[in-house]
């Protein structure tokens, strides 16, 4: 989501996406199109930075989604507070959305599918492996795939193909 800073320069603030999606986009879609208007009829997936937004949104609003896909993706928000990537220039993320991982049963009851995948040569593979450790420590299960490839379309098209087969 784009906004402007004090100097009028356009910036992207990825942190406002979840509220925008829940309060504006989903109600608009459900009003305009024929949909299944409950969590069992909704999936959310994202790739790269979109996977961070997916984690934050789905974990903060578990009543909205039953299926989660993280493609070349992440649980933690490592963008917020990063001097290069965070266009807003603020402190590090609290990652409060990860509280849902504290209860294996709550997590399992909220999400039918939790899919994580990444390319074996992805520049972020170390972050992915660190998050494997976090999920293991919390005893949270997921469908986890490592594909041949990097942080690119050749991996992401496999992600969506495999994730889509699991939906609904």
Instruction: Name the pTM for this structure.
Output: 0.89
Which residue ranges make up each domain of the chain?
37-164
- pLDDT-based confidence at residue 82 (cuts at 50, 70, 90): confident
The predicted structure's pLDDT at residue 1: 58
Q: Give the integer Cα–Cα distance in Å for 24 and 18.
A: 10
117 contacts 71 by C-beta, under 8 angstroms: yes
Q: Average model confidence (pLDDT) for the chain?
A: 93
Q: How far is CA 152 from CA 73, 116, 121, 147, 165, in A?
A: 12, 15, 10, 11, 21
pLDDT at 139: 98
Per-residue pLDDT tens over the stretch 98-151: 999 999 999 999 999 999 999 999 999 999 999 999 999 999 999 999 999 999
What's the CATH fold of domain 37-164? Answer: Rossmann fold (3.40.50)
Q: What percent of the chain has pLDDT over 90?
A: 81
Mean pLDDT for 64-80 is 95
Nearest to 62 by CA among 33, 46, 42: 42
User: CA dihedral in degrees (120, 57, 99, 63; nearest 10)?
Assistant: -120
């Amino acid at each position: 989501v784009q906004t402007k800073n004090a100097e009028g320069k356009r910036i992207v603030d990825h942190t406002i996406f979840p509220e925008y999606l829940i309060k504006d986009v989903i109600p608009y879609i459900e009003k305009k199109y024929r949909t299944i208007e409950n969590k069992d009829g909704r999936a959310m997936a994202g790739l790269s930075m979109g996977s961070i937004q997916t984690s934050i949104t789905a974990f903060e609003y578990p009543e909205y989604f039953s299926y989660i896909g993280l493609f070349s993706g992440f649980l933690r928000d490592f963008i917020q507070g990063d001097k290069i990537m965070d266009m807003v220039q603020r402190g590090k993320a609290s990652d409060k959305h990860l509280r849902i991982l504290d209860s294996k049963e709550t997590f399992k009851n909220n999400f039918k599918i939790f899919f994580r995948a990444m390319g074996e040569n992805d520049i972020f593979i170390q972050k992915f492996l660190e998050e494997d450790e976090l999920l293991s420590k919390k005893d949270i299960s997921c469908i986890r795939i490592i594909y041949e490839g990097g942080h690119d379309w050749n991996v992401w098209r496999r992600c969506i193909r495999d994730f889509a087969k699991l939906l609904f």
